[in-house]
Copies of this chain bind each other. A is one copy, B any other.
Amino acid sequence: MTTDIDTRQTVRVDLGARAYDIVIGPGALQETGERVVALASGARCAIVTDENVAPLHLGPLADALSAAGIASTPIVLPPGEATKGFDHLQQTVEALLEARLERGDLVVALGGGVIGDLAGFAAAVTRRGMDFVQVPTSLLAQVDSSVGGKTGINAPQGKNLVGAFHQPRLVIADTGVLDTLPAREFRAGYAEIAKYGLIGDAPFFAWLEENLDAIMDGGPARTDAIARSCRAKADIVARDEREAGERALLNLGHTFGHALEAITGYRSDILVHGEGVAIGMVLAHAFSARMNLASPDDARRVAAHLERAGLPTDLSAIRSHIADADTLMDFIAQDKKVSRGALTFILTRGIGEAFIARDVPPSEVRAFLKDTLES
């Protein structure tokens, strides 16, 4: 893994005083030191990571920081979604304080979305707000969770119900570190890339259809796909930082997806987030077709592409976990995107034409799920 400046891409997240860069490409991690010095000279760092990522990428990151004269303290947490809770939040915050980091120092999140969300939230609340840098190591984190400033943890009542909007000062997406990511996690992250095409960029979706193999193989196409995804998310976040409107489009496939994650007990051996999203996006397209909003051909095209990417696209694999349509409906209604009883869904008029549909009749959704489960 060598630094290759030619293949480096930078995406700017335009948020005025809180604007920051996402630096994307193979070997980008090795530049972390210089970039952190440029950002906050004299700062010390804590690196928050997990036990899977630490043996692979903590050493190189600490070395890159140290080469630039920056001392760092590692905070290594257990891997997995269960880490994103109050216990490890407290542990992380106390470790940051124990390391005697001051307000001008930096928290560096090295890992997937779990570490990014947790470490970002810990930074948000330690000393009422410390700066932080995202070094996402999963594909999902590179194209989605590390960008946009949503940080947080889960509660017994549901996922991501506790947290803060806290933008990072910098995101370093080293595409090289994805080489060590398990293939299944890579595919799950790919679902979010496809999402950006489906939301608002039909040409990007067509480009993904063309270049899927090259993206899976790595190389420039992968960097391009990641950069274009970051650009898409950055643009939406810049226009709607706190999800007053448009940002909700990023939830395409997620209302169904979250319900499927919940109904399978958030067991990653059964379904990981991106897999739930893949199924959810197909369902959102199929439901839109059923409501005569979009062509059924689009739903088929979406399913075909995600399937080619190795993702589940229907309920067959998890069918045994779903008692009936009513049970699934209950999980959907519990999703936090339910506002005062009305169902808000992201529906679509076709590929690249997603929109926010408020007041979707629950009866229509229930009937759709019933037919889908019985088919």
Contact = CB atoms under 8 A, between A and B. Distances in A.
Given A125-B164, A164-B164, A98 B157 contact: yes
B94 A157 contact: yes
A226 to B, nearest CB: 26
Given A339-B102, A340-B102, A165 B129 contact: yes
A127 B336 contact: yes
Interface stretch (A135-143, A148-156, A198-206, A280-288): A148-156
Nearest to A338: B102
Given A86-B86, A155-B97, A339-B102, A150 B128 contact: yes
Interface in A31-45: none
A102 B89 CA distance: 23
A157 B91 CA distance: 12
A124 interface: yes
Interface in A93-109: 93-94, 97-98, 102-103
A372 to B, nearest CB: 28
A164 B93 contact: no
Contacts of A128: 150, 152, 162-165
A89 B90 CA distance: 11
A306 to B, nearest CB: 29
Tell me if A's interface is mostly helix, strand, loop or mixed. Answer: mixed
A126 B162 contact: yes
A126 to B, nearest CB: 6
A155 B122 CA distance: 13
Nearest to A127: B161
A165 B127 CA distance: 10
B127 A125 contact: no
A158 interface: yes
A342 B164 CA distance: 31
Nearest to A152: B128
Contact of A161 (B97, B157, B162, B164): B97
A94 B156 contact: yes
Contact of A97 (B102, B157, B164, B242): B157
Nearest to A124: B164
Interface string A327-362: 000000000100110000000000000000000000
29 contacts: A86-B86, A93-B155, A93-B162, A94-B155, A97-B155, A97-B157, A97-B158, A98-B157, A102-B339, A102-B340, A103-B339, A121-B125, A125-B152, A125-B162, A125-B163, A125-B164, A126-B161, A126-B162, A127-B161, A127-B162, A127-B336, A128-B162, A128-B163, A128-B164, A128-B165, A129-B164, A129-B165, A129-B242, A164-B164
Given A94-B156, A102-B340, A126-B162, 9 more contacts: A93-B155, A97-B155, A97-B156, A102-B339, A125-B152, A125-B162, A128-B164, A129-B164, A164-B164
Closest 10 CB pairs of A and B: A97-B157, A86-B90, A128-B163, A125-B162, A97-B155, A93-B162, A97-B161, A128-B165, A94-B155, A128-B164
